[in-house]
Amino acid sequence: MEFSMVNLLSLLLLPVFGALVLAFVKQATAAKRLALSVSLLTVLLTIPLLLNFVPDASMQFEQRFAWIPSLGIHFHIGIDGISLPLVLLTNGLVPLIILAAFGHNHSGGFYALVLFMQAGLLLVFTALDAFAFYVGWEVALIPIYFICALWGGENRIRVNLKFFIYTFLGSLFMLAAIIYLHLQVPTGDYELTSFYNLALDSATQRWIFWAFFLAFAIKMPIFPFHTWQPDTYTEAPTAGTMLLAGIMLKMGIYGVIRWLIPVSPLGFAAYGQLALVLCLIGVVYASIIAFKQRDAKRLIAYSSIAHVGLIGAGIFAWNVQGLQGAIIQMVNHGISVVGLFFVLDIIERRLGTRELADMGGIAKPAPALATLFLVIVMGAVGLPLTNGFVGEFLLLMGVYQYGVWYAVFGGLTLILGAVYMLRLYQRTMLGQVTDRTANFSAINRTEWLVLVIVAVLVVGIGVYPKPLLQLSEAAVVDLIEQVGPIVKH
Amino acid sequence: MIDLVWLIPLLPLVGFLINGLGRNILSKSLSGIIGSGVVLVAFLLSGGLFAEVYHARQAGEAAAFTQSLFEWIGAGNLTIALSFLVDPLSAIMLLIVTGIGFLIHVYSIGYMKHDEGFAKFFAFLNLFIFFMLLLVLGSNYIVMFIGWEGVGLCSYLLIGFWFKNSAYAAAAKKAFVMNRIGDLGFLIAVFLIFTTFGTLEFAGIFPQAAGMAMGDTTLLLITLLLFVAATGKSAQIPLFTWLPDAMAGPTPVSALIHAATMVTAGIYMIARSNILFTLSPITLQVIAAIGICTALLAAAIAITQNDIKKVLAYSTVSQLGYMFLGLGVGAFTGAFFHVITHAFFKALLFLGAGSVIHAMSDEQDMRSMGGLKKHLPVTYLTMLIGTIAIAGIPPLSGFFSKDEILAHAFAENRLLWVLGFIGTLFTAFYMFRMLFLTFFGRFRGTAHQQGHLHESPATMTIPLVILAVLAAIGGALNIPSALGGSHALADFLAPVFADSVAKSGAFHLDHSTEYILMGVSALAAVVMAFVAYRRYVTKASIPVADDAPRGLLARLSYRKFYVDELYDALVVRPLNALSVFCYRFIDRRGIDGVVNGFGKAVGESGKGIRLLQSGNVGFYIFMMVIAVAALLAYGIFNG
Amino acid sequence: MSAIITLSLLAILVLYLGLFKARNMLLPVSLAGLAATLVLYALQWGSTAEPLYSGMVLFDGYAIAFSVLCVTVTALVLLLSKDYFDSRSTHVAEYYALILFSLTGALLVVSFHNLAMLFIGIEIMSVALYILAGIRKKDFASNEAALKYFLMGAFSTGFLLFGIALLYGASGSFDLAVIKAHVVDNPQAVSPLFHAGVILLIVGLAFKVGAAPFHFWTPDVYDGAPILITTYMSTVVKTAAFAGFLRLFLFCFVPLQDFWMPVLLVMTVITLFVGNITAIVQQSFKRMLAYSSISHAGYMLFAIVAIGSTSAASVLTYAGAYSLASVVAFAALILVKRATGSDHFEAFNGLAKKNPYLAIALTVSMLSLAGIPLTAGFVGKFMMFSNVLADYQVVLVVLAIINAAMAIFYYFRVIVAMYFKPLDRDQVVVSGQYRTVLLLAVVITLVLGVYPAWLTGLI
Amino acid sequence: MSVFYFVAFLSIFFALMTIFTKNPVHSVLYLVITFFTFTVHYILLNAQFLAVVNFIVYMGAIMVLFLFVLMLLNLNKDTEPLKSNLVKVMGVIAGLCLLLTLAGSLRVLEVSDPVTLKNPDIGLVGNLGKVLFSEFLLPFEISSILLLTAMVGAVLLAKNDPKKA
Amino acid sequence: METVVQHIQGVPLNHYILFCSLIFAIGVIGVLIRRNVIIIMMSVELMLNSVNLLLTAFSAYSGDPAGQVFVFFIMALAAAEVAVGLAIIVMVYRNTRSVDINALNRLRG
């Protein structure tokens, strides 16, 4: 491990320490400040990462320590072009999420959980050792469970328990697969690379594929493993929803790119098409369901299923455009979904309802909100010069190269997305001012700040996505070559 | 000069940002000046650009200049640059967009004076100009697509400008979604183009395409998909219903976006990729068919509408139909020519209508107008010119452009000409009907409106006058050789359509036939104008109230042939029903039911198993003994 | 060996202390004695182990590791018992003595090298427990638990003995070495007596570890016995029994794996499902823990099903993790029950508000039992799964996974109660010993979870 | 050798009587007889010492203990509410299943070479003593703990606390 | 003494095993069909004794005293168990006035 002036481990540990300290902070404002400063510190630590990163296929800033030597387990982390965007996303969004939660006056415990989860997520995105990956995977789950179940809606308990058990079940299958693979590794370790180098027979790879796929499909979620998601998103507090939709679901997608496909290429060859079809079904199915949702949050939840479906399709199409699109769209989706949920949170806190029926005409009392919301919505709709377009364009292009009709089918998201997103915008912002929305107070500084940052990112990435794309280009090309071109069945 | 191309779209963008961000600071007049100022500068630049292109053409060059700003998206073999292409086609389009755009900005200063969203309005207009310029200048399909969707956004924003009225908001949404349907076609076409030609740059595609065989299936697919996109943007069957609703927006918007510029984007795009279309005759036939049908349908509807803007809207749809007819019969120049003239007179008519509505204090129903010509002389005169122009009565612009299209149609297929001819009859009738109902007879409005009647301020009338002039003399751009003209426009555009002409062979029709055709259509127009006069001025008959009984045809026409109702029944309702069904039954009960079912099953079995734990030692021991016996039995056979 | 002697002397000493009414001396003395035992074991560590006393016992690393675990956990239990029994019973001294006797038995079980020692060890352990279970003489539940445990225990002893007899008949000796030699010499041609003997041994031992279908005593006895005794039973005794179980099979019966493995496989699966599914429907936290202990027995059986070089380490880790977590859980239960008088889940409602640290401790232990990463429980499960997968028992793993997911449901019920079911209750008083125990157990659990190397490296 | 079968028959018979008699006292007595037959078996196997111990410990101590408790709790008359016949039948069937499988897995029906006393006097006190105090010294010592435990426990449980704790 | 030894000469080992299994089974049946705890304990004793005899038979058969030594331990255990068991019974009886195992069903489910 050559010396690098960026210490990745410190990046992972900082949130943990922050969390440990915060756990004992009772006073709300102090907790806020501390949490925000810690998360901003992580951002600072990320900057040198970005500066010293060489956009090639190599693994960088690697660190490797023996963890459980007797079992061949190492704590091995590193970053390449595929994981860097997600690390950026995580460290970028967490401050936003913390900032967005300022309206709620949570105690230190809340922020502690958020930061703890951040650590878990970062571990997932940087782990190069399957065991470490799994640990991060689960560690990220506990805090979010508590966040959602402690500060959630009325039937939060049932919903979150279901969510937890469902995802836990999936990940256990992954664990089994990981152990199995480890047992096949001649060097007896859990290294990502040694997993890549295994050339198992097709039959084995097939069930390995399913074991991993189940874990990731539930997390993302892919149709038909998605039913936990709308409930959880709806019941969760906004910060929880942001973490879930903004970052956590990327764990699944990242897993597909980093583990599922390269580790079981034959399984992928056998079932990739099925998976892709499932993703596309999810796109249309979720969009259609989103049409008539009365609950704004639930609407976004389903829209998120649709977006993720498209991302998944892009990945399973397994070509440069698709993967690049997937990676950039992960970032985009994270950004816009955080924005969307935050707007809904602002509305809900003022109106005390999420029912679209009770809203309308908010643009009148809160024009700034309306404008920023519009930008975010357009980003979600995938309008050119917003980030959404770049992602959707590349994704659809990738899917197109896999099969024309898949692309046409998936492309329906352009239309359907417009339908439900505009409906959302219209029902909330436009139309007559109702007695409820009449005295809707304009957004305060913090809210404005968060939304502006989101909007700027939405447009910024949309106008000049190249730098972001360049980060992952080399790595993606390399990965695709390594797995080899897709074999259609 | 060419190096400054990037300024042209940039200026409106700057205007948008200034007006958008400073909308609470800037005074109305200031934002008005900024808003129109940037467009004016852009117009001047375009003028300079055009001059350059023109000289180049005189020098006999192809005069196509590209300017690449930066690489926008790059993934694998796909690289998309944000780059501009200036050639005769885009040069003219630039002039139209910026020119008419400027006029309408000026007009809006007066029209929107009393609206609190004044600055916002100008910001949106600027944004629209920006996107429209991108669309026009784009040197590849993606940049064009950016503009393509961008203008869609702006039309959404501007239609829903008065968002407090949820009907308007709905109209805006409808427009956006219908455009989106087309856009999907565009996107798929782009993918297909990329996979076929390996690039998205016009400069890269068209030469390759020129080398391809006539009637190539790939090209057929591409062109059909592109045409789908065009039907969305340019309001053709089946996606035309959004345009009439789009009249919800302020009138200047209708004039700029839904008459002069955006809706012609489809024609521009097809003209741009003319070679692809020339090589797929089937598509051309489809286009021609759709075009003429739209023209007739819209015209038929326009005849009975009473909302002055609705009439104009349907006439726009119908005129667009003509343009597509032109494209369909290979009269690319003609179609584009009609784009230009139509931009002039339809903008004029809309602005005129705007001024009328302004004077009538926002009354749009012609049944309560009448006799306005003495109150609004300027408006009346200008609109008269516009009407004559659109009706196709020589020597005003509309006559020449429409005639060229019809001539080509005649050469292509007699039937098309006949239908087109019928269309011109309709056109003349409903336009004069509108004119007469509005300006002739006695005033039918309320006393309050009467007291309020006035001619519009200079900011509004001056653009009217300018446009009237253009509408009058616009025809001079491309006077056919039959009338001793020199086809100036055609020559200017020659390099753009060169390949197509080479493939399809030059259009020829001997002058005698041409004279006859012109005469017939001109005469017919005059006759229809007279008929309208008899009916609405001499007889002074007023259209009946909405719910009054009508004849079948009249009702069909008045109810817009129930197209909206049809779509509602065929698409909207089923989709909503499907949505509810998927959510309630498939998602909640079905999939989630299964998931929860597992939980329930475990719980139930738990209740069952715990019964074994009866608390009775005897039973426990009994079970143990059975178990031991079982194990030993296993031992017997495997021991 | 000296350790065991110390221990038995210690027990007698404690009895005398009781005689002289030196109550307050009991705990310190016992702890000191246990500490001494630990030291003695520690001294033995690493020295090459030879069978002692003509092959009766063998203090190899395996024995020592498990002994240390048992002694440590017992120490924790004794710490808890300070103000648990003083208030309730007059027979504190006997209580301590019996625990220590039982511990002695446990230590013999983990270090036996001769079936006689196994037998006697198990019996010392159990007989003491029969009594302890009933030590609340006026309490019906306690009585019933004692009698049930005794009857079924005695009954199962019969099978154990019959098995031993058959083994003796087949191999002609009680010495593990000899038996092993017998098996190794003719793995194919071992007499039917031997097979039947193995089966009966499985029955007897399965009963002791509470594996289905010989688990029926577990819930009732765990439920009826005083909480601390339950703690002791479910931790030390279970650990010791498993250690003995594994030791016997690891020593002697590996060559016969094809014969007995299917039996254990089936039993494992049944155990898992019975334990988990029944635990889900429980209303009492205590009884839930009883059933969960059954399911954990199932997981520990993995190590024997997939018997091999790593089995010992896995069982040790798993048993350790499980014991620590259980100690915490039961300690919390004791405190809550003392405050509310109920051991149902509702009794925990709103605990997190008043006793945040107690709640956190209990949460950690529950996560550990559920096998969530960064807790010792996960490492244990992880090693178990590794064993079984190394043996290509994919089906078993899948079933285990389903069970692990089910387990979340009931482990999280108490978390849900503590954190998400608000209820204004008065704070639960946590005495010094309890603080120490909880802190110790939680810290070890976490440390094991984060950096298990130092334990897994032992064996 | 017929002696063996005769005695075996007796012990089986009395064992059955033990478990099927209603009156507890009677079944104790039957059990005593059964144990006596066992003593005979030990003698036949030339394990005199065991025979003696069995005679004393079981028939003496243990049985007396049983009787004592029975009398103490005065259960001497057949107060025991019998289990329903179904349960009985099931019990018997289960037991027989056990017997069958046991016998089956032990292959008892195959011919095996007869029991011949290789050295007739292993059962003698001397020999047993040698083994017990050399080889089995540790278990012998340890079993003292067992007995001590039992003693403590018995006292602890059976003693009737004066003060109601 | 010789005469005694004559008597068992020739009894096949299997018959001993069968006999012990029989007694064992009878003991089990006793445990199964009786409700009186004391009788159940007696049945258990029966089981233990069958084991004793089995061990003795084996030891005699193989001429190895260990088996007979082991019997001592079993007897010790038997004694211990009986002591503890009866103590428990007495305790229970004191509380419930019954030695019927079916009375023990408070703990269940």
What pLDDT, in 10s, does the model give residues C405-430?
999 999 999 999 999 888 778 888 88
Neighbour count for residue D94 (Cβ, 10 Å):
23
The CA distance from C288 to C275, in Å, is 9
What type of residue sits at position B482? A
The CA distance from A324 to B74, in Å, is 9
For residues B285-306, average pLDDT: 93
What pLDDT, in 10s, does the model give residues C82-136?
777 665 566 788 889 999 999 999 999 999 999 999 999 999 999 999 999 998 8
- Identify the band that residue A226 occupies on the pLDDT scale cut at 50, 70 and 90: very high
pLDDT at A487: 55
The secondary structure of D72-133 as a DSSP string is HTT--SS-PPPPPHHHHHHHHHHHHHHHHHHHHHHTTTS---B---SSGGGGSHHHHHHHHH
For residues C244-252, average pLDDT: 94
- Tokens at B290, concatenated: 């759709």
Residue E5, pLDDT > 60, answer no
Residue A277, pLDDT > 90, answer yes
- Tokens at D154, concatenated: 């018995």
The CA distance from C45 to C43, in Å, is 5
- Percentage of the residues of chain B whose pLDDT score is greater than 70: 100
pLDDT at A3: 46
Interface contact flag, E102 B614, Cβ < 8 Å: no
For A302, left (φ over 0), alpha (ψ -120 to 50), or beta? alpha
- Tokens at B155, concatenated: 């039309």
pLDDT at A461: 93
Interface contact flag, C154 E54, Cβ < 8 Å: no
- Tokens at A412, concatenated: 């329906």
Interface contact flag, C451 A67, Cβ < 8 Å: yes
Residue E1, pLDDT > 70, answer no
With an 8 Å Cβ cutoff, is A149 touching chain C?
yes
Best of E38, E44, E64, E70 to mutate (most D CBs within 10 Å, chain D): E38
pLDDT at B580: 92
The CA distance from C275 to B606, in Å, is 10
For residues C349-360, average pLDDT: 91
- Identify the band that residue A489 occupies on the pLDDT scale cut at 50, 70 and 90: very low
Residue A165, pLDDT > 50, answer yes
For residues B294-301, average pLDDT: 94
Q: Which position has the token pair 């042939």?
A: B561
For residues C288-296, average pLDDT: 95
Nearest residue of chain D to residue C5 (CA atoms): D142
pLDDT at E36: 87
Closest Cβ opposite residue B149 in set A226, A384, A473: A384
- Alpha-carbon torsion A96, A101, A103, A106, what sign? negative
A159 contacts A171 by C-beta, under 8 angstroms: no
Chain C nearest-CA distance from E91, in A, is 7
pLDDT at C190: 79
For residues C317-334, average pLDDT: 95
What average pLDDT does the structure give for chain C?
A: 91
Does A224 sit behind a cis peptide bond, omega within 30 degrees of 0 on the bond before it?
Answer: yes
Chain E residues with CB under 8 Å of D11 CB are 19, 23
Chain E nearest-CA distance from C10, in A, is 21
Interface contact flag, A176 C398, Cβ < 8 Å: yes
pLDDT at A295: 93
Strand partners, C114: C175
Closest Cβ opposite residue C405 in set A146, A149, A168: A168
- Identify the band that residue A43 occupies on the pLDDT scale cut at 50, 70 and 90: very high
Of B501 and A115, which is predicted with more confidence? A115
Pick from B434-448, B502-516, C125-139, D12-26: least confident: B502-516
> Are chains A and C touching, using the cut-off of 8 Å on CB pairs and a minimum of 3 such pairs?
yes
Of A17 and C454, which is predicted with more confidence? A17
pLDDT at D24: 86
- Identify the band that residue D165 occupies on the pLDDT scale cut at 50, 70 and 90: very low
Of B540 and B240, which is predicted with more confidence? B240
Pick from A385-394, B545-554, E92-101: least confident: B545-554
Residue A330, pLDDT > 90, answer yes
For residues A123-146, average pLDDT: 94
For residues B231-257, average pLDDT: 91
What pLDDT, in 10s, does the model give residues B611-629?
889 888 889 999 999 999 9
pLDDT at E35: 85
Residue D1, pLDDT > 50, answer yes
pLDDT at A182: 93
For residues C201-216, average pLDDT: 93
Nearest-5° Cα angle at B633, B628 to B639:
110
- Identify the band that residue D105 occupies on the pLDDT scale cut at 50, 70 and 90: confident
Residue D117, pLDDT > 80, answer no
pLDDT at A431: 86
- Percentage of the residues of chain B whose pLDDT score is greater than 90: 57
Nearest residue of chain E to residue B606 (CA atoms): E109
What pLDDT, in 10s, does the model give residues A408-422?
999 999 999 999 999
For residues B454-465, average pLDDT: 89
Q: What is the ipTM of this complex?
A: 0.92
For residues B110-129, average pLDDT: 90
- Tokens at E29, concatenated: 């049946």
Q: Which of residues 88-127 of D touch E (CB under 8 A)?
A: 88, 90-92, 94-96, 98-99, 102-103, 106-120, 122-123, 127
Most confident of B474-478, B633-637, C184-188, C445-449: C445-449
The CA distance from C132 to E88, in Å, is 11
The CA distance from C342 to C336, in Å, is 8
pLDDT at A6: 67
pLDDT at A263: 93
- Identify the band that residue A486 occupies on the pLDDT scale cut at 50, 70 and 90: low
- Identify the band that residue C47 occupies on the pLDDT scale cut at 50, 70 and 90: confident
Of B622 and E4, which is predicted with more confidence? B622
Residue A319, pLDDT > 60, answer yes
Residue B379, pLDDT > 80, answer yes
- Tokens at E46, concatenated: 């029966």
The CA distance from B269 to E12, in Å, is 106
Of A153 and C246, which is predicted with more confidence? C246
What pLDDT, in 10s, does the model give residues A368-412?
999 999 999 999 999 999 999 999 999 999 999 999 999 999 999
Neighbour count for residue C44 (Cβ, 10 Å):
18
Best of A283, A288, A319, A429 to mutate (most B CBs within 10 Å, chain B): A288
What average pLDDT does the structure give for chain B?
A: 90
The CA distance from D1 to D12, in Å, is 17
Chain E residues with CB under 8 Å of B614 CB are 105, 108
Pick from A243-247, A293-297, B257-261, D117-121: least confident: D117-121
- Alpha-carbon torsion B428, B431, B435, B436, what sign? positive
H-helix or E-strand spanning residue B367 = none
- Identify the band that residue A1 occupies on the pLDDT scale cut at 50, 70 and 90: very low
- Identify the band that residue D76 occupies on the pLDDT scale cut at 50, 70 and 90: low
pLDDT at B25: 85
Residue B367, pLDDT > 90, answer no
pLDDT at D163: 54
Residue E6, pLDDT > 80, answer no
